[in-house]
Chain A
Amino acid sequence: MGILEVKGINKRFGGLQALGDVNLSVAENTVHAIIGPNGAGKSTLLNVLVGKLIPDSGSVMFDGQSVLGRKPHEINQMGISRVFQTPEIFADLSVFENVLIPCFAKRDGSYKLQGIGAVSGHGDVHDMAEAILADVNMLDKRHMIASSLSRGDKRRLEMAMCLVQEPKLLLLDEPTAGMARADTNNTIDLLKEIKEKRDITMCIIEHDMHVVFSLSERITVLAQGMPLVEDTPDNIKGHPKVREAYLGEAQV
């Protein structure tokens, strides 16, 4: 049994079958990539996993519990964090404040009115935030306003915000989309580093084959809303059906 078990998911948008009978099993402590051409249903699948979309049929079990019908914040509390295609951070706040918020959420759960004690009075939360910033090498940028960071740093910050919650599953939606080669390689290194340091399962949706093959241990190929094959990276590279559907265009 994997940590994430998706069974028979169907989702229609009007006449379009976005997902047709998708099965997916992500094993614990692995990096699992989901690839496929544009319109294959990758993003739809991800939105189902985080509770943003409700599928027409099928089941999604995470760690033995169903995630369907739960709100995004409840799914996050189960241990699923998400990194977005464009980094979703608190752009108006400082880097340190950005990290403080998930630290408070981690310590206190979803919602607890803190009274009117000053933020600076919560030493344990400060230590937690400093530790994670040091972890992603951003401690020197702690006073910067998040919107003034470079794109790579925004990505780093978003990762830090997800990681401080110690999720069991980290979902990454095209983490290198629109990045220069150097930034892409930095992101790959960052992800590898994260994987080495902690027990975490990652599920990556990605377009860039370079990223996929340098990170993942298993790959699921989606095409037109259906899972085409699921295998190890080496087998996927040579798979004739995959070449035909997808890799032929990507010039690997």
Chain B
Amino acid sequence: MLGLNTRDFKLFILVCVLALAAPFLLNPFPTASALGESFNAGYPALMQRFVIFGILVIGFNILFGLTGFLSFGHAAFLGVGSFAAVWMFKLLSYNVVPAIILSVIVAGIFSVVIGYVALRRSGIYFSILTLAFAQMMYSIAFSDLAGKMMGFTLTNGETGLQVYNDDPQILMGPDSPTTPHFFGLEMNSQFTWDIGGWSFVFQNGYYFSALFLIAAFYLSIRIFRSPMGLMLRAIKSNQTRMSYTGINTKPYMLAAFVISGMYAGLAGGLLAAMDPLTGAERMFWTASGEIVVMAILGGVGTLIGPVLGAGIIKYLENIVSKINDSILHQWFAIMPDWLDNVLVTIIHPFIGKGWHLTLGLLFMAVVIFLPGGLVQGGEKIGELFRRKKTDDAADGAKTPAE
């Protein structure tokens, strides 16, 4: 269906359901309960990050997963996309359509230039080249060097770029919304549904981004299954044979690089559409590193892995960092005081600001035990169940004979 085979179609439906039902799925506990306050992730600001970073890593996976070229500067395209979108808000109006179109185009142009140069080398040299480009772009944005040379504010340096009252906004009508909107549909307007102890929040901005995630995921399946995807996997497998098969690998790799750069630009544009300000820190190398970690954690080269990886890291970042000692004391209240204190002392370094420690341990465990990422873990569990089933069936067949 939709040009997909049955298995891919099921995966696509799964992603659609996850994305559209996220406000329910991510709010398993009653809102006011202790567990709900700590572990519920179904609030718009976080759900937006799930889907936007999902888009970013899906795009990254088209490059890294298929061709094996590890770009260490992908956050630069995200940042460029955000700046382009905010400039559209400043110049035209708060309508997100021109902002997102321009962010994709600008990120595409940057990735053509950077890709053309960086793809002259492969392996670690390619990674270093992309990292160098990204850091240069970060420095230029952070000091607003390009803007200073041209005599106006381009990235607004450390302060970050945002929309001011005296910006031209030539398409703004007298009663246009003053926050990002899709032809009048404001991104930050939301509808809350209270039922029992739960309250589910449905926000326009989240669903707007979720539709992009679904489209991005669909496109990535089609690319994976197309002859171009086959060529890209062949490049990863054996470049020598590719060139001795008469195939020039450069255009294929550049195409993959530009597609993944444009995905990152789209993600950047969406970030700006959710919150119309941006800064250079979005392009810092740790942000690029985070993309790599998300892809590896989820499962490089798999279809759904990137979405899982992005979701889990953003979940940990927001949820684990929110937990503090007093919350822990609440959880362990039923235990004797000494045990409570011991447990809190042990867990203390892993929560709050120490969430990176938790992430590090999780990442190490995944890389050591599941080199194929969480998707491989899922497959292993699936196999276990299947084996159990066949064992049961075999037992069942034996029993009557006894």
> Which residues of A are interface residues toward B (Cβ below 8 A)?
50, 71-74, 76-77, 81-82, 84, 88-93, 97, 100-102, 104-105, 109-111, 113-120, 122, 161, 165
Q: How far is the CA of A122 from the CA of B242 in the complex (A)?
A: 20
> Smallest distance from the beta carbon of B256 to chain A beta carbons, Å?
11
**B322 at interface (Cβ–Cβ under 8 A)?**
no
In the complex, besides A104-B230, A165-B245, 11 extra interface pairs with C-beta distance below 8 angstroms are A73-B244, A73-B248, A89-B238, A90-B238, A91-B238, A111-B252, A115-B228, A116-B223, A116-B228, A118-B4, A161-B245
B73 vs chain A, min Cβ distance (A): 24
Chain B's closest residue to A78 (CB) is B246
* A93/B234 in contact, CB under 8 A: yes
Tell me how far the C-beta of B346 lies from the nearest C-beta in chain A, rounded to whole angstroms. 43
In the bound complex, do residue A50 and residue B244 qualify as a contact, i.e. CB atoms below 8 Å apart? yes
| CA gap between A161 and B231 in the complex, in Å | 14
Q: Which residues of B contact A (CB under 8 A)?
A: 3-5, 219, 222-223, 225-231, 233-234, 236-238, 240-249, 251-252, 255
Partner of A114 from B228, B240, B243, B245 at Cβ < 8 Å:
B228
Chain A residues, Cβ within 8 Å of B223: 116
Complex Cα–Cα for A100 and B242 (A):
12
Contact across chains for A88 and B238 when beta carbons are under 8 A apart:
yes
A-B contact count (CB 8 A): 103
Closest to A109 in B: B246
B246:A119 contact, CB within 8 angstroms: no
| Whole-angstrom CA separation of A71 from B247 in the bound complex | 10
- Pairwise interchain contact B237-A82, C-beta atoms closer than 8 A: no
Residues of A with C-beta under 8 A to B247:
73, 101, 105, 110-111
With contacts A101-B245, A114-B227 known, is A90 near B234, CB below 8 A?
yes
A76 touches B234 (CB 8 A): no
A-B contact pairs, 12 of them (CB 8 A): A73-B242, A76-B243, A77-B246, A88-B240, A90-B234, A91-B237, A104-B227, A116-B219, A116-B223, A116-B226, A118-B3, A120-B5
In the bound assembly, the distance between CA atoms of A11 and B255 in angstroms comes to: 37
| CB-CB nearest 3 A-B residue pairs | A76-B246, A116-B222, A114-B227
What CA separation (Å) do A138 and B292 show in the bound complex? 39
Residues of the A chain whose Cβ atoms lie less than 8 Å from the Cβ of B226: 114-119
Q: Chain B's interface: helix, strand, loop or mixed, by majority?
A: helix
CB neighbours of B242 from chain A (8 A): 73, 101
Q: Report how far A150 CA is from B242 CA in the complex, Å.
A: 22
Which of B219, B226, B242, B246 has its CB near the most chain A CB atoms (within 10 A)? B246
B229: chain A residues at CB < 8 Å are: 119
A101 touches which of B5, B225, B231 (Cβ 8 Å) = B231
* A122/B227 in contact, CB under 8 A: yes
B248 to chain A, nearest CB (A): 5
A76-B245 in contact (CB<8A): yes
Could you tell me the distance in whole angstroms from the C-beta of A79 to the nearest C-beta in chain B? 9
User: Contact check: which of B222, B231, B233, B249 meets A104 at CB < 8 Å?
Assistant: B231
**Which residues of chain B come closer than 8 Å to A81, judged between CB atoms?**
244
Q: With contacts A104-B231, A118-B3, A122-B227 known, is A76 near B237, CB below 8 A?
A: no
- Cα–Cα, bound, A47→B286 (Å): 43
Measured in the bound complex, the distance between the Cα atoms of B233 and A116 in whole Å is: 15
Q: Could you tell me if A113 and B255 are in contact, using CB atoms closer than 8 angstroms? A: yes
